[in-house]
Chain A
């Protein structure tokens, strides 16, 4: 591509850079300042104090447990999504007849269901099966709502597997199970890593289902912990922002090490 200078967009991009960076700067710098230091220096100043105390306080006031809960929810959601979506996408791509198309349409329709619109029935269902205030109660609906986008992503990847490979497997008399494990899964690695990241992000950053389906401290996840933390210690800005930092660290690590899968996973979010 021949670079065409675009001054308007270039100028806009610098302004927007400031808008994005300024809050992040305050977030990082405040989380390492003492409460008094932050109070006197103000958010935008160069900090004069330095401490890890905010992080230690956040962890000891419950964030350690919230973190463990969120990890459990995230891992479980990812497992459910991968275990359900991989065979589903295989069936959508390789099954004969109308059935596969019908299932695919159903999941396309599912894309249009906003999770917040069905929180009342989900609250009802989870209560009926006795999973209220239980991590499993968060896990099941979170996984369900990650399915449509994941199915779109993974069936897209699986469609790119060349038909000749399937035919070669069929010539050798391979069963669908063998074809799935020996051919489809190994060749769908990129799609699978995308849906892993997508499902993990949904679970890690999810707020709605924990908000309505849990109440006690022992089942609290990080996002809900932040919300509660704010209502209780809203005036302790450095403490609050250290908690925000803690909640982002795992995602930032993924961003550093698996950027491609993350970007694709985030784009998948568009379906929500």
Chain B
């Protein structure tokens, strides 16, 4: 247990030493700031008394494609180094010959990625604060709670995907590319919902696709199906990562 935290701490520490962390954070903050500004401007130009479920914040958390595009790029950048870097620099050997299990290694890395995911989103609380300042009932705190819960859940899932791809790859570029392909695939699946007129396939795509989840959560709908889906797939990916690390011995 202690090893997991030690590992995660080292991972986060190393990440924040590297310029990548700051580049990611800076670009992400610029991007989210601009998209929040655009959304806020758009909504402020709308006549009062429009749709009750849509606000700049809920649009920000998944109402528009603005939310998903950076996910496909930033997540691979965060997760690519997790295990692939240890493998390519050879430190995986010292790590796996230290007295800790492959389970601890995978969980420590995963925890670090989750931490960084949270760090990415903490600054967005400023937008909540800004919105709250615009009026008494400008912010529906239930919606905010489900939005952040949804964010955390997809974080669990996508970080696990990144972890797995980093575990199977020999270098970071391959890991990033694989993660990007999976995420882009999930994003495109949701596109298929619009193309497919049939009920069955469209429903499945909607369930497993990327944006239907945040679409629901950003409106304050706590759909446990999505939570179960995220956590079970995250668990699967982490489990597979552990197996990949164990297979390393053979």
Is B one of A's binding partners?
no
Which residues of B are interface residues toward A (Cβ below 8 A)? none
Which residues of A are interface residues toward B (Cβ below 8 A)? none
